[in-house]
Each structure stands twice: as C-alpha cells, then as structure tokens.
A and B are shown apart, each in its own frame.
Chain A
Amino acid sequence: MGISGLLRWPALAIAAALSFSGLQASSAETLTIAQGNDILSLDPANHGNNSTESALVNIYDYLVNKDFSQGQLRFTPRLAVSWSSDDNIHWTFKLRDDVYWHNGDKFTAQDVKFTIERSQQDKKLISSAKFRRIKTVEAPDETTLRIETDGPDTLLLHAFVGNGAGILPKAAFEKAGGREEFFKQPVGTGPYVFKRWVKSDRLVLAKNPRWWGGTPKWDDVVIRSIPETTTRVAELLTGGVDIAVNIPPEDIARLNDNKGTRAITFDIARNLALHVRTGKDRVTGDPRVREAIDLAIDRDAIVKQVLEGHGAPTRGFFPPAIPGFAPELSRAIRFDPERAKALLREAGFSDSKRPALKISTPSGRYVKDREIVEAVAGYLEDVGFRAQVEVLDWTVYNNKLVGDGFGEIYLWGMGSYTDASTLFVDNFKRHYEWSDPAFDALAASVRQAKSEAERIAISQKGQEIVADQRVRIGLLFPQSIYGVSDRVVYNGRFDEMIAAEDVSRP
C-alpha cells in the first residue's frame, strides 16, 4: 500500500517546509507512539507479531528482562528477583512480593504456574509451544517457583521473554470465565493499565499508580496504527505522535532538518540473507556456483547506497548482541568478481552458456528488500549470471516458502530472535534440499547442550558450516529507523519493543 517514492518525496518536502514548528500545545503527559500496523491481540500468548508485543510489554510483565543495552543479551530481574539451577534442569525462581495486578489482587507464583500451564494446554494458542521444554512447574509458596525441564535447557530464560511470555493473573482469568471475556478488559502487572482498543486505530493505556517499579512516567500512552508512511511522518511533523516507527532512509535528513523532530537509527535483532536451494537439478546445486554468488556481491556498496549506511555488511546470520554470534562471518568479507567469474568457468559456464537463476523478494516487508535484491541481481549479472528478480506479495511469498515453490534463491529476513541456536529450527533438508552430517549432528545436540558455552560453540559451528557451504548467504544486518519528537528522549531498543518507561521527557 506504500505510496511510490516518487510521489512521497515531494510530498514530504512540502510537509517539512510547511511545518513551521514541530512543537504543538498538546498534553506533555501523554505519550503517543505510531506503529505501522495494528496490534493483533491483547493475549500475549496468541499473536506472533513483534509490534503487538511492543504494545503489550506496557501492560504485562515478563519474569525476567531481556536487556540488550550493553551490546550483549543479559537477563535481569523483573517479576523474578533471582534464579538458579545447578544442572540446567531443576530451576528455582524467587519472585517479588510487592507486585499487584491492575485489579488489586496480589501477584504470586501461582500466576506464573498458571501462565505456563495455560500456554501448554491450549494448543490453539499461537505461542503454545513457548514452554515446551518445561516438564513440571510448582509453586511451593507465594514467592517461589520451581521448574523442571525435560533435559538440560540452557535456553529456559529465553522462554520467559518475548511473544507469549507475558505473565497473566490466575484468579482474574478464571473469574472472567474464559479467554474472550478476560481479554475484553485484561489485567496485568505492568506500568500501564488497559483502557480501550479501537481496532486498526489505537490502543489506549493509562498509568498504573500501584506499579511495583515506581510511578510510571506518563499519564497516558496511546499506540496508534498508521500504515501509510507519509501519514506517519506527517503526524510526527505536526506533533500528533511522539515516536513514529519504520521511517525510510531517504526521510532521515528531512526529519533532522525539521525543527522539533529527529531521526534515530539503531541496531536490531534482524539479518537479511539469501537462502539458496541446492537441489541437484539446479545450477545452485554446484558449490562453485554458490561460492561465485557469495563472491560476486559487494555488500559494502549495498549498505552504503541502498541503506544509506544504516546497516552492516555480513556473511553471517545473527548480529553481535545475540548469544552465539559468529564474529568470523562479519570479518574480512570478500568481494571478488574476478574469482567469481573464474568459478563459473570452472563449473562449465561461459558467455554463451550463462547460469540462469531466479531471486525472489517481498516488497516493503523489510527495509529496502526489493532494492537490495535488485542490486544483488545486478552484481550477479556482472559476473556472468542471468538473474531474474521475482517480486511477490507477502502472502504469496509465505505460501511459496511453506510449499517450497521458490526458484534458486530467495531473500529472507530472520528476526526477533534471542539466540543463534534459532538457526537450527529451520528444516534445511526440505527448504534447501541440503544436508550435511556435521550440521545435522550439531542440530541434534544443541537442545541438550549442558552449558551456555557449549550451546554457543554449537551455534557458531553451525553458522560456519551454513556460510561455508553457502546454503544461506548472509548479506547484511539492517538498522531500524524511527522518527522522534524533541518532546521526548528515546534511543530505540535492539528488540524493537517500545516500552513507555524507556521514553522520558528531556
């Protein structure tokens, strides 16, 4: 639905020129955030959607915080003050005893037990698999939680953050008499209380005066859904919103030149990679052809030209803040078109017999996705490929992914992960027609890793194999770009959650 850049450019130029001041007399106590799409659900366990979670983190609390602020994932206390395990199987969590639900009830370990078991039992919930490793959960007293996992699980804390991890109140949920009823007026422990949700328009939250973390910074928080980029920017320029997500790189200068607004850019949990199908009947079945693709692409130039510098080139699949990041894959990235040409000759191709391949991409799903793929196709043409770009609607794209209907290569932007072992959830045999005994052994062992260090080593090894064999060819780590009003101080978060408590007045 995006308006063509051609039209938007002059439109926004006028907007910037017309808006003599970004500051407008609006209540300083209300924080307004503009997302690109509506939230899908108030049920933390029943949506698979990042911007929905970004809204819900204000209503519900996790057991632990995922903190990327130091450049590395750390888990810090939230509803749990401490946790321990000797064997990564038997876990004990100590919970805060000064937490109250929005309806006044006291928060206890029973609520956490309820949240876990509800997810496990209701298989229709989108995040039903969230706590699959948890075998038993017990609440011996109000502030103690004992968990036993089905084996050593060094990822247990990861299950307590993100989609599906918001803790729900047992008593209020049961009293409401069902999911539909409870989520009409949901109750959490977070800094903001649910007021109302006008679908496709806005979610309105109000300050929780009894929040365990102190007095929340804002009286009201409004999270709006504004799908059209131009409108989102116009709202920011007129002071209608304080934070606007997903700003295209070409608008950064405009927001910075306008008085009262600025653009912020920051690293996020996402990578863009070419996923390669390696079946014997495809030109990409030949490892030399795949290597030629890898060497033909000038990632530096793509980051500079297409993303205007707001990203980092890589051959890898997980950015540095993610546990299991493989540093080698972001170091000394080769761009060697001559070697790529030589490899194609070795593989039996020539000017009269050029290898043909199709590269598929969505349009507008990831920042500059189509433009990046067009640039890649250009580089491949330069070394002797005949590259055809296929641009697909996101729904069709997903159908093709699930049904393995793509051609040789497709762009994929993995994201919203907290650990590099996510690499192994993909079905490489089916989606890439590829298998490797060493990789399969790693995939089988990663879940049972005895320690964090062991798991990280397995993840890194797995990434190296995938990168070496060019089953996935990493391209870059994109940054996120938000527009922010000078009325607020905000720097963005690696996990793209916008917690109102992270936003303050200057």
Chain B
Amino acid sequence: MNGRSPLRALLQFLPVLYIVSVIVFVLVYLTGDPSALLIPEDASEEDRLALVAAWGLDRPFYIQYLRYMGNILTGDFGVSYRYGTDALPVVLERIPATLQLTAGGLVVAILIALPTGIFAALRRNSLPDFAISAVTVLGKAMPNFWVGIMLILVFGVWLRLVPVSGSGGFSHLILPAITLGTGFAAELTKLIRSSLLEVMGQDYVRTARAKGLPETRVVLRHGLRNALIPAVTMTSLHAIALLGGALVTETVFSWPGLGQLVVQAIYTKDMAVIQIAVFVITIMALTINLATDALYRLIDPRLAR
C-alpha cells in the first residue's frame, strides 16, 4: 500500500485489462454470433447469413480478434449489435444511474448500520442487542426482489409517497436505494458491532478509560476509529460489486443502470458493449480501491508511513 501513486496503480493495471479483454473476447466468441437473436422473426436463413457476413462475423477467429484490437488502438470501441450504434456511449450513459444507485444504497446502509452497530455493541447482550441481532438476520435473509416489491406495494401503491419505478428525480431513487441498502446494512451492523466489541476489550481503550476520558470520547475516538477498518474494507468491496450493476434491484424498479445493460448484452452476445462494460467496471473498481487506501490512511495514520 505504501507509496502507491494512482498513476502507477493504473499502469500496473493495463496488463490486467488486456488479459480480461482477451478472456471476454474468447468467451463471447465461443458462445456464437448474435444474429439469430437480433433478426426479425420472419427473416429467412439467407437473410441471417447475409447479416453475419456483413458484420464480418463469418471471418476466422484470429482475424476478428486482430480487427477488434486494431480498432481499439485507434480509439474505435466498436458497434453494439443490439443497439446498432457506437457501443461506447451506450455504456457510458449508464454510469450516472449506476453511481446514483450505488451511492444511495451505501448511504442507506451506513446510516442504518453505524448507529445500530455501535448501539448494539455498547448494550451487548441486552434485549435491544438481541432484537437488533434478530432484525439483521432477517434483513440479510430477505431477498432483494422481495424487499423491492414490498416497498413498491407499501410506499408506491398504498401510501403513494414515491414513484413505483423508473428514474428521474430524487424521489425515484428512494425505494431502490433502500432495497439495496437494507441487505448490506444488516451485514455491516453485525460487523461494526463485533469489531467494536473486540476493540473495546483492548488495552489502549482501558488506558483511555483509566485516564478518565468521557465514555463517548472513548467509544468514538479510540474504539470506533480502530473498529472502522474492517467496515471500510467491507463497504468498498460491496461498492465494487454494486458498480458492476445491481441487476435485481434495477430490474424490479426499471432503473437504467449497468446491470440491466450488461446482462442484456451478454444475452445477445453484444461483444463491444460487454468489453467496454468490463473495462469501465474494472476502472471503477480500481478507483474504489485507491479511495479505500486513502481512507485507511486517514483513519489510521500509521498506514501512511
């Protein structure tokens, strides 16, 4: 971690990106060409083969690959077969919605988990602690799509407080963010509780108390600060997973994020879109990793040395 500059990290990442792109290309190639999935239903076999030839998909594997790589080097990321248009904007225009949803889900999770986890740790083995424990198990056990649909029914259909689905204003984000956030909040609560308990048993906490510091200060300054490292790790891993698309939540709420796009692209073997999406997701994951490193150093200055 020490001395890793963002630029160097990016450069180290190029070979990884290259290998990933080769793997994706081979896998998509092996699943066959997309023509049958895209032609009109009453088109004939000849029509289909004519398209395959026009798209150059009847050429040998290595020619297709060389052409693909050659195009990328000139900045041409290819055409989406499914949308029949340049693939790069098709992927890029999904990023804002995905970032919104990811951020929304994480904020909801942190807002729930942080106070609840601390409270549960401080009131260890009390009735509220057991209650929180039970709720977290439930929160983790409820499938996302079920939570989503229940939220739609209660807040969308019954109370009519928020829109049922779609994207647009802030109100559209509320239900999907809660849906995404609850499951993760449950995990995070348990983690904060257990790591806080562990830290609170350490010598330096006892020392802090012996010095006569007020309890809130002991907990927040000496306890929580050290307990946060595993929580940050878990949150960043979760953020990376969400950036790859939250398919179930996106589908339930018809949220136009990367998840729906990538899955549809895989279904229709939309090579260029899959490749770019993998690039973009990898780069976002790398960014999160770098941000996490920075956050570690902020929480624990010893790591910066």
Contacts and interface: CB of A to CB of B under 8 A. Distances in A.
Contacts of B86: 180
Interface stretch (B164-172, B185-193, B213-221): B164-172
A234 B43 contact: no
B54 A183 contact: no
10 contacts: A7-B149, A18-B154, A124-B54, A127-B40, A199-B93, A226-B165, A234-B152, A238-B156, A395-B31, A414-B41
B42 A198 contact: no
A15 B54 contact: no
B254 A417 contact: no
Nearest to A396: B31
Interface of A: 1, 3, 7, 11, 14-15, 18-19, 24, 40-41, 43, 46-50, 123-129, 162-164, 180, 183, 198-202, 224-228, 230-231, 234-235, 237-238, 240, 393-395, 398-399, 401-403, 414-418, 422, 425-427, 430
A234 B260 contact: no
B157 A416 contact: no
Contacts of B253: 231
Interface stretch (B45-53, B63-71, B99-107, B231-239): B45-53
Contacts of B261: 199-200
Contacts of B254: 200-201, 224-228, 231
Nearest to A11: B149
A496 to B, nearest CB: 11
B147 to A, nearest CB: 12
Given A41-B83, A124-B54, A395-B268, A11 B260 contact: no
B156 A234 contact: yes
Contacts of B82: 40
- Secondary structure of the A side of the interface? loop
B130 interface: no
A235 B165 contact: yes
Of the listed residues B41, B43, B46, B48, the one surrounded by the most CB atoms of chain A closer than 10 A to its CB is B41
Contacts of B55: 124
Contacts of A234: 149, 152-153, 156-157, 164-165
Contacts of A19: 157-158
Contacts of B43: 48, 129, 425
Nearest to A50: B41
Nearest to B47: A129
B2 interface: no
Contact of A398 (B37, B42, B47, B90): B37
B269 interface: yes
A18 B251 contact: no
A227 B256 CA distance: 11
A48 B31 contact: no
B40 A201 contact: no
Interface string B190-215: 00000000000000000000000000
Nearest to A425: B44
Nearest to A403: B32
B14 to A, nearest CB: 29
Contact of B164 (A163, A235, A414, A416): A235
B157 A180 contact: no
Of the listed residues B44, B167, B250, the one surrounded by the most CB atoms of chain A closer than 10 A to its CB is B44
Contacts of B301: none
Interface string B291-305: 000000000000000
Nearest to B35: A402
B165 A231 contact: yes
A3 B252 CA distance: 9
A376 B136 CA distance: 45
Contact of B36 (A46, A202, A398, A430): A398
Given A234-B157, A235-B164, A228 B251 contact: yes
Given A3-B149, A14-B153, A235-B165, A427 B45 contact: yes
Contact of A238 (B44, B146, B157, B260): B157
A48 B38 contact: yes
Contact of B84 (A41, A129, A238, A417): A41
B160 interface: yes
Contacts of A231: 149, 152, 164-165, 252-254
Contacts of B268: 395
A230 B149 contact: yes
Given A124-B54, A202-B166, A237-B157, A40 B267 contact: no
